[in-house]
Amino acid sequence: MYDVRQLDVRRLPADRTGLTLLGLGVLCPLLLLASPPQPLRAILAIAMMGFLPGYALVRLTGLSEWFVVLVVSVAVSLSLSTAVSMGLLYASVWSWQLSVGLLGLVAVAAVVAQMRRTT
């Protein structure tokens, strides 16, 4: 298991996309929990459930062409959101806050794994 505390940001390469993703993976769920006004809330939910976690996972694979990355990221994010929401419903512990939090966690974990791989 990788310990996030061992991650020395100074040793990271200039992976701005990764750092941005990391920030968004933490910020988006927190902002959503604060129930911001529309349309910001809808935009954040679309990003969190329809793109970010998928994009973080797709970056791990090494797919590079932007259009492929875009379409596959959307498909993977929606699949992940489906799996997480459904899993929580079957476990009778569903809440949208928990779903979004778990998706954020997946995005952060994928970015950290990517950063660790490139250091």
In this structure, what token pair is assigned to residue 69? 């990355």
Site residues for another protein, window 46-85 (CB under 8 A)?
Answer: 46, 48-49, 57-58, 60-63, 67-68, 70-72, 74-76, 78-83, 85
75 close to 54: Cβ distance less than 8 angstroms? yes
HSE of 100, CA atoms in CB hemisphere, 13 A: 21
Q: Which is nearer to another protein, 6 or 44 (by Cβ)?
A: 44
* 113 is an interface residue for another protein by CB under 8 A: no
Stretch near another protein under the rule CB under 8 A, chosen from 2-10, 15-23, 37-45, 108-116: 37-45
Number of residues that bind another protein (CB under 8 A): 41
Backbone angles phi, psi at 57, to 5 degrees: -70, -40
Q: Which is nearer to another protein, 24 or 49 (by Cβ)?
A: 49
Residue with tokens 């959101």: 81
Residue with tokens 């952060």: 108
Neighbours of 21 (CB within 10 A): 22
In this structure, what token pair is assigned to residue 104? 């954020």
Residues near another protein, by CB under 8 A: 32, 35, 38, 41-42, 44-46, 48-49, 57-58, 60-63, 67-68, 70-72, 74-76, 78-83, 85-86, 89-90, 92-96, 99-100
